[in-house]
Amino acid sequence: MIDNYLLEELVTFASEKTLAKTAEKLNVTQPTVTRGMQKLEDELGIQLFDRQPNRIILTDTGKLAAEKATEVLAVNRNFIQQLQNYAARQSVIKIASIAPGPLILLRVKSASFSTQISIDEKFITPDQITASLLNNENSIIISDQEIQTDQIESRYLGAENLYVNLDKFMYLANSQQVSFKDLAGLSFVVLNDIGPWKEIIQKYIPNAKFLYQEEWAALTEITKYSSFPYFSTNITTANPRPRTSKDNRVRLPITDEAAKMTFYANYLKKQKNSLTPLLNKINQTWPNLS
């Protein structure tokens, strides 16, 4: 059986045309490519390359071999992807987060995932991430920091941007965007369990008052009968929970750097292959910053 790496070298050479470019593309040395080509010819018992003093080109047979190798590699990749997807569907992937936004997205989009997921509703703290992964308590932990160790790595998922929803009759509602300083002295109705965002709004909005609510239903009821502003993000607005018809708020982006949080998936390196299909899907469904 011919190793895939030999077919990869052949296909790459057919595309790049030179040994130097082929080696650069594959991130190997030129002698490695040369040995691989000779080995491929030996295993096939066919001449694939026309070697000239200062040049090497594919023979007609070599060109046909490159076309067929492309097809074989595509079949092999599809084979691996199908097995990975099937294996992912056979197990439940446990996911935790340091903030609510990513978990809201996962709950909303979970039906479109081919992988079964279990969401830990209790937020995890940054100093718990490493132990939780190493102890297999969670397979993926979403945080705002990358972790790169011998056993753990991170992958970028997306960003969450904070917005404020202001009564349309407020003078600020005529703006296109606002800063935290613009919101100084206002009173906000806020969900209590909002992870790191709680510390951010308390730190950056001067002299503000926050009316914390334990449940979304209570917050919705208050916004229905009052003009208190409240916060949302590009993720929370992806939640199909309907807004009340009496909500006259204007949604404005907050421009401060602190109003944007970048999220990464942290996981064990040895589980990367099995988690990749799910991570790809999360990337694809992550809401834009709009």
- Write out pLDDT tens, residues 184-202: 999 999 998 888 999 999 9
Give me the pLDDT at residue 242, please.
47
CB 251 within 8 A of CB 173: no
Give me the pLDDT at residue 88, please.
59
Q: Write out pLDDT tens, residues 8-35.
A: 999 999 999 998 899 998 999 999 999 9
CB 147 within 8 A of CB 266: yes
Of 180, 123, 159, nearest in space to 188 by CA: 180
Instruction: Give me the domains of the chain, ranges plus CATH numbers.
Output: 4-89 (1.10.10.10), 92-158+261-285 (3.40.190.10), 159-260 (3.40.190.10)
Spatial separation of the C-alpha atoms in residues 130 and 147, rounded to whole Å: 9
- Cα 273 to its chain centre, rounded Å, is 15
Residue with tokens 């945080």: 143
Spatial separation of the C-alpha atoms in residues 28 and 290, rounded to whole Å: 42
Contacts with 101 (C-beta within 8 Å, 6 or more apart), sequence order: 160, 195, 233, 235, 236, 261, 263
203: part of which helix (H) or strand (E)?
helix 196-204
Cross-strand pairs, 233: 162
Q: What is the DSSP letter of 178?
A: B
Residues of the chain predicted below pLDDT 50: 242, 244-245
Q: What 3 state SS string does 249-279 have?
A: EEEEEECCHHHEEEEEEEEEHHHHHHHHHHH
CB 219 within 8 A of CB 192: no
155: part of which helix (H) or strand (E)?
strand 152-167
Helices (H), 45-165: 60-89, 100-109, 129-134
